[in-house]
A and B are shown apart, each in its own frame.
Chain A
Amino acid sequence: MGQTLYDKIWHAHTVAQLPTGETLLYIDRHLIHEVTSAQAFDGLRLAGRRVRRPDLTFATADHNVPTDPDRLAVKDALSRAQIDTLQRNCAEFGITYYGLDSRRQGIVHVIGPELGLTLPGQTIVCGDSHTSTHGAFGSLAFGIGTSEVEHVLATQTLRVTRSRTFAVEINGQLARGVTPKDVILRIIRDIGTGGATGHVIEYRGSLIRSLGMSGRMTICNMSIEAGARAGLIAPDDTTFAYVAEGNRPFAPKGRSLAAAMERWRGLASDADAVFDRTYTLDVSTLAPQVTWGTTPAMATDVTGHVPEPDQVPFVNPVDVERALTYMGLKPGQAIQDIPIDVVFIGSCTNSRIEDLRAAAAVLRGKRVAPHVRVLVVPGSQQVREQAEAEGLDRIFLAAGAEWRQAGCSMCLGMNPDQLRPQQRSASTSNRNFEGRQGVGGRTHLVSPAMAAAAAIAGHFVDVRTFGGA
């Protein structure tokens, strides 16, 4: 029987079989941010341990950082202390750190690929559940807690139990205006928020092959919202071309790149590999998706309606009712009749240059609705520079949107960018949990193009017929 891609990466990184039944896996890249690392460094100090491989460890500040122009002066004392602590820990243990004053700063899952740190066939961990993003390169990438961060710092390994494998095959072509974000929202809607728990998903099929790296990252990013430990896509020429782009300082070059590509070509599941589960989706007739509830699986077509509580798969009617109460919605309401207050275009799901281009294409020459606040937040300072070089910032500003500095921003209610109670957002981020974007805030997850269209209309609209997309 053949091996899956997951099996291959797993075997290649096995350091030892442990008597506990776990496997000790070597970790190629350890990414660190300010929120989940301080206690791990404290643990190291307490035990008198060192960081085994500071040269494989890279840090940035993203969750807590303000995104306004004078953000270097972090006004919130606790946030500043957390960011300073990361900087001090990195200096003490010899770890490369991209702080607020660095041109390389950004959301950890945006800068890893951008800097060429993320490469096919690697194991990558970070104290953050959306580490699954990096799986788009055919690397086994997953989120860990702070105790595990400490374990990786001290040993450059992790004790891991094997996951089961889940093949998600996606075929067909997307209609104009329908995006990878809609694809992953549809998959989560179909399999449920816990549908892939205990599994590593491998995305396959003709649609995946036709996507660029940005779209693949959007899909892998949200694997965790279906409960998956990681998402994987076998690398191909699209992947190699991305890695070979001239501006990736840490990617291999020249002869070592050619040698690496030879190895990477073997990173695919064998034809006779067997997966524990499979699911197939044809996206030819897929409509843009909009979430109406408080989990990413509570989604429907933009042309649809808020469902009746007993019509939602995987969810008890009482939980649907609670979600609708929180969201201030009624069963039967048309999605396109829901007015919005705030639009957030950003997050590790949708803040790369391709996402900003898609939003700009809709906003070009238009004005956002007068009562709507629109934040456009690039995923990294490099994305910001690129967008400005292309003039996208001027399109956003002319439309009445705010053009911000890089960070997680309104993806989570931790930094100054937050929803107020009962404010309703169209957001390109990944979680619509209660309070996620600020206490009492109401989040609808959508693609960048759909968010931009909603910004102009002041309510959800079908970007396929709205124009500009």
Chain B
Amino acid sequence: MSAPSEVPDRPVALVVRIAAMQPFTIHTGRFIALDRANIDTDAIIPARFLKKIERTGFGELLFMDLRRRDGQLDPAFPLNRPEAAEASILVARQNFGCGSSREHAVWAIQQAGFRAVVAPRVGDTPAFADIFRTNSYKNGLLPVEVSEPFARRLLAAGTGQLTIDLNQQRLTAHLPDGDFAEPFSIPEGTRRMLLEGLDEIGLTLRHEADIAAYEARHPDLAPVESPAP
């Protein structure tokens, strides 16, 4: 347990290492576990930081209010631990990213140096909230849903090495008591997008003829304003 004085006044994992929109193939890195369920987007990045009109500068705001206790960095918070400085994979519990649609949550996680988030499905509750998962895909942050026993081992270890192979859709943990692996699945189309880092809008625009045909079949899409009564 490190004394508060050893905690740098700037959160270590917050040395912003902006991951440019890079394709995801295979990644080995340190994970850091945040043993909580239902981590909502207000916790990931509080609303008062959403006033920026740029896409950057969110990394150092990640978990801003959870990191602090009475205005000081809380040394007990996992992301304030020294190991977190080099972590590139975040491990948490189910329903991660619930709440608002703010893509800023994904930007903050990525810009703090993370390439993937790993969480378990528990019963009927999936690992990730829908909008967060979609936002992650669009930015090349990989949300990996694992089994509950697998997650429990990672959460118990707190930190360690993980290898995420998107080609094989396989996750391998390297812990002091040995390696253990588990398959995961990402929808095939999304997986190809992530592997190749494609421009989705550009791909959709290739369907211009289909879109135009739909519009031709629906000439009355636009609402017409009637005069005030």
Chain A residues near B (Cβ < 8 Å): 15-16, 18-22, 24, 26, 28, 35-36, 38-39, 42, 47, 49, 52-53, 55-56, 63-64, 76, 78-79, 81-82, 85, 116-117, 127-129, 143-148, 150-151, 154-157, 159, 161, 163, 192-195, 197-198, 227, 229, 246-247, 249-251, 253, 256, 295, 314-316, 318-319, 322, 412-414, 431, 433-436, 439-440
Contact partners of A38 in chain B: CB under 8 A: 53-54
In the bound complex, what is the Cα–Cα distance between A151 and B201 (angstroms)? 6
Contact partners of A314 in chain B: CB under 8 A: 123, 125
Contact partners of A229 in chain B: CB under 8 A: 130
B50 within 8 A of A: yes
Q: Is the CB of B125 within 8 A of A412?
A: no
Q: Is the CB of B50 within 8 A of A250?
A: no
B90 within 8 A of A: no
Interface size counted on chain B using CB atoms at 8 A? 64
B147 within 8 A of A: no
Residue among B38, B95, B220, B225 making CB contact with A249, cutoff 8 Å = B225
Contact partners of B224 in chain A: CB under 8 A: 250
Q: Which of B23-31, B101-109, B163-171 contacts A (4 or more CB under 8 A)?
A: B101-109
Q: Is the CB of A35 within 8 A of B102?
A: yes
Residue among A194, A246, A440 making CB contact with B129, cutoff 8 Å = A194
A356 to chain B, nearest CB (A): 22
Smallest CB-CB separation from A153: which chain B residue?
B201
Chain B residues near A (Cβ < 8 Å): 35-38, 40, 42-43, 46-48, 50-55, 65-66, 94-95, 98-103, 106, 123-126, 128-131, 134-135, 138-139, 187-190, 192-193, 200-201, 204-205, 207, 210-211, 214-215, 218, 220-226, 228-229
Smallest CB-CB separation from B204: which chain A residue?
A155
* Contact of A157 with B204 at beta-carbon distance under 8 Å, contacts A146-B103, A249-B228 already known: yes
Contact partners of A435 in chain B: CB under 8 A: 42-43, 46, 65
Contact partners of B222 in chain A: CB under 8 A: 53, 55-56
Closest CB pairs A-B (n = 4): A20-B189, A194-B125, A147-B138, A145-B135
* Contact of A129 with B53 at beta-carbon distance under 8 Å, contacts A413-B46, A413-B47 already known: no
Q: Is the CB of B47 within 8 A of A227?
A: no
B79 to chain A, nearest CB (A): 16
B191 to chain A, nearest CB (A): 9
A-B contact count (CB 8 A): 206
B43 to chain A, nearest CB (A): 6
Contact partners of B50 in chain A: CB under 8 A: 35, 63, 414
Q: Is the CB of B53 within 8 A of A151?
A: no
Residue among B40, B100, B135, B211 making CB contact with A26, cutoff 8 Å = B211
Beyond known contacts A194-B124, A198-B126: 19 more, CB 8 A cutoff? A28-B221, A35-B102, A56-B221, A117-B223, A129-B100, A146-B135, A147-B139, A148-B135, A150-B201, A154-B205, A157-B207, A194-B94, A195-B124, A250-B223, A253-B226, A256-B220, A431-B99, A435-B65, A439-B65
Q: Is the CB of B38 within 8 A of A143?
A: no
Q: Is the CB of B130 within 8 A of A198?
A: yes
Q: Is the CB of A319 within 8 A of B37?
A: yes
Q: Is the CB of A39 within 8 A of B54?
A: yes
Sampled A-B contacts (24; CB under 8 Å)? A28-B221, A39-B55, A49-B201, A52-B211, A78-B51, A78-B52, A151-B201, A155-B207, A157-B211, A192-B124, A194-B94, A194-B124, A194-B125, A227-B95, A227-B125, A227-B126, A227-B130, A249-B225, A250-B224, A253-B226, A314-B125, A315-B37, A412-B42, A434-B65
Contact partners of A78 in chain B: CB under 8 A: 51-52
In the bound complex, what is the Cα–Cα distance between A52 and B98 (angstroms)? 31
Smallest CB-CB separation from B220: which chain A residue?
A256
In the bound complex, what is the Cα–Cα distance between A253 and B226 (angstroms)? 8
Q: Is the CB of B187 within 8 A of A21?
A: yes
* Contact of A193 with B204 at beta-carbon distance under 8 Å, contacts A15-B210, A161-B187, A414-B51 already known: no
Contact partners of A16 in chain B: CB under 8 A: 207, 210
In the bound complex, what is the Cα–Cα distance between A400 and B201 (angstroms)? 52
In the bound complex, what is the Cα–Cα distance between A195 and B128 (angstroms)? 12
Contact partners of A82 in chain B: CB under 8 A: 51-53
